[in-house]
């Protein structure tokens, strides 16, 4: 189980990803549109928003410029700060609590590899369709 914990994204990365998602949606931008502005693909934006990939400082600066907010905005609401917006845990991009994530990962790794691959393709396909 400790190996599964290492696979979990850092809470700061999750928070920043949710804030990217929140601001992009507020502006009515698709993942594809944001990606074109900052020079990456739709899938990379999705990885930033879901904390599958960390956002470098330089890229965060580019995202902040594209979304019209200061880079510090992405850290508002952490550690009890008030961000002046709805609690992110209640947003559609909210992340399951750590216990649920661990349980999901443990169950996922019990599924045969080929089924996991098909499931992952299905989930990515659904996410890509949402952007269309």
> What are the chain's domains?
2-131 (1.10.260.40)
Confidence of residue 104 (pLDDT cuts 50, 70, 90): confident
Over range 8-13, report the average pLDDT. Answer: 85
pTM exceeds cut of 0.95? no
Query: 127: part of which helix (H) or strand (E)?
Result: helix 113-131
Residue 112 has pLDDT above 70, yes or no: yes
pLDDT given for residue 123 in this prediction: 82
Q: What is the mean pLDDT of the chain?
A: 79
> 113 vs 44, which has greater pLDDT?
44
Structure tokens at 115: 């089924």
Structure tokens at 83: 């961000």
CA of residue 42 relative to chain centroid, distance:
12
């Amino acid at each position: 189980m400790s190996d599964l914990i290492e696979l979990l994204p850092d809470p700061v990365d999750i928070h920043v990803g949710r804030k990217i998602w929140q601001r992009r949606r507020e502006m009515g931008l698709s993942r594809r549109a944001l990606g074109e502005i900052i020079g990456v693909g739709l899938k990379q934006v999705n990885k930033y928003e879901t904390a599958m990939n960390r956002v470098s400082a330089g890229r965060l600066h580019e995202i902040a410029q594209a979304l019209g907010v200061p880079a510090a905005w992405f850290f508002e609401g952490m550690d009890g700060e008030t961000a002046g917006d709805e609690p992110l845990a209640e947003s559609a991009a909210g992340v399951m609590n750590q216990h649920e994530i661990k349980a999901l990962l443990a169950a996922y790794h019990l599924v045969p590899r080929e089924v996991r691959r098909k499931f992952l393709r299905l989930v990515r396909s659904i996410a890509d369709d949402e952007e269309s």
